Amino acid sequence: MDVIWQATLASFSMLMTLDDRLIEVILLSLRVSLTALVIASLIGLPIAACLAFTRFPGRKIILVSFNAMMGLPPVVVGLVVYLLLSRSGPFGVFNLLFTPTAMIIAQVVLVTPIIVSLCRESLESMRREYHDALRSLGATPAQAISVLVWDGRFTLATAHLAGFGRAIAEVGAVMIVGGNIDHVTRVMTTTIALEASKGDLVVALGLGVVLVLLSLTINFLVYGVRSLGEAKVAS
């Protein structure tokens, strides 16, 4: 009990003094996950729009696949990306394994299905609702899409927060493709895993606190975005 208490105190003082080791790890985490989120959004939003606004054979299957992929185990995603990027894999020539880029790729794979599924759902229900009104007003397809995206911005933002939450908190994928190399690919989750297994609770707990704070912040943001949405547009 005493050990834990001391570790907790030490970790707080580490946070308060903005320990270099800690900051480095936190910044890398944020860089990897935010980049992954941006890329996943660039890939996912157009796919979501396509699935929401068009009908084609096989659409249902794609839709269900993306829904299923929302729950992909990060370790398995990590493993697959590892195989693809490893020296003998198809993308081995790029030498990406054990770099932050590899971690970003793995997280893009994890986040994209979330963006696609949640954004598709939002856009589709908005479309169903607005369809007649927009046609009645004579909106062009481009005008219609911009109305749907703008009026759905709060739900779309919520979907992105959910994606970021998944990226920042996962450990399996970045561990495998990043390798948890000090000063290179060590992020919050992998550091916690490593330090805890070494018995160094101070760093692990400190980072744990940061992670919890981050996910709390995300949840507050989600809540805030929702209530802002309700207040502004009565959705």
Partner 1 sequence: MTGASPLPLRLESVGLSRSGKNVLKDVTTTFAVDPPKTVIIGPNGAGKSLLLQVCHGLISADTGIVDWATPQNARALSRAQAMVFQRPILFRRSAVANLILALKIAGFAKSEWRDRADGALERTGLSRHAATPARSLSFGEQQRLALARALVVEPKVLFLDEPTASLDPAAAHLVESLIDEAATSGVKIIMISHDLNQTRRLADEIIFMHRGRIKERAPADQFFTRPENDLAQAFINGELLWRRRRSIFDGALVDDETCSSEDFNKS
Using CB under 8 A as the criterion, which residues of the chain lie in contact with partner 1 when the complex forms? Answer: 129-130, 132-140, 143, 147, 151-152, 231-235
CA distances (Å), origin 69, targets 62, 77, 78, 106, 235: 10, 10, 14, 13, 28
How many angstroms separate the CA atoms of 7 and 184, rounded?
A: 26
Give least dist CB 231 to partner 1, A: 8
Q: Which is nearer to partner 1, 65 or 235 (CB)?
A: 235
Tell me if residue 117 falls in helix, strand or coil.
helix
| 8 Å CB contact between 140 and 66 | no
Burial class, 33, CB count within 10 angstroms (exposed 0-12 / middle 13-18 / buried 19+): buried
Give least dist CB 207 to partner 1, A: 40
Q: Which is nearer to partner 1, 7 or 139 (CB)?
A: 139
Long-range pairs for 52-56: beta carbons < 8 A, 24 or more residues apart: 52/119, 52/120, 52/123, 52/124, 52/127, 53/123, 53/127, 53/141, 53/145
Q: Which is nearer to partner 1, 59 or 135 (CB)?
A: 135
Q: Which is nearer to partner 1, 152 or 208 (CB)?
A: 152
Give least dist CB 147 to partner 1, A: 7
Q: Which is nearer to partner 1, 33 or 122 (CB)?
A: 122
Give least dist CB 166 to partner 1, A: 27
How many angstroms separate the CA atoms of 179 and 94, rounded?
A: 17
Give least dist CB 150 to partner 1, A: 8
